[in-house]
Amino acid sequence: MHIHRGKLLKSIIHKSNISIFDLSKTLSYSIDAIHHHIEMETLDFKLLMAYGEVLKYDFSVDFPEMVLSIASKESQHAEVMNYDELLKDRDHWKLKYIELLEKHNELLIRRLNFPSSN
């Protein structure tokens, strides 16, 4: 079943206690832009998500594909690294992991050496 995203947005706005004016101020959209969004049948999921945060409404209930769509768009914009940068990044996180592991082991050893207070 196809849902008109703008019409759904309009009904959620009307059900909320937030005026179009307040919504426009909070989201920094013009009132005309909000009216334009309401008219759009295939309103972008990122816009719906922004409205949902303000309106306290989860549009992914109506559009389960919303989460996957946003995740795939974000992964498309991920930073591309060359081989040397990848090796440097890997080494950075490897050292970070080793440092944390050593601290964790030190805490365990200290904990085991202390007599219990029971």
- Of 4-13, 28-37, 70-79, the range with the lowest mean pLDDT is 70-79
| C-alpha to C-alpha distance for 9 and 17, rounded to whole angstroms | 14
Taking the domains of the chain in order of start, what are their residue ranges? 5-75, 80-117
Task: Read off the pLDDT of residues 71-95 as tens digits, 9 standing for 90 and up.
Answer: 555 555 556 778 888 899 999 999 9
Contact 12, 55 (CB under 8 A): yes
16 DSSP assignment: S
User: Model's pTM, two decimal places?
Assistant: 0.57
Length of the chain: 118
- Return the pLDDT at 71: 55
| C-alpha to C-alpha distance for 58 and 80, rounded to whole angstroms | 32
Return contacts of 17-23, CB within 8 angstroms, 24+ apart: 18/54, 18/55, 23/51, 23/54, 23/55
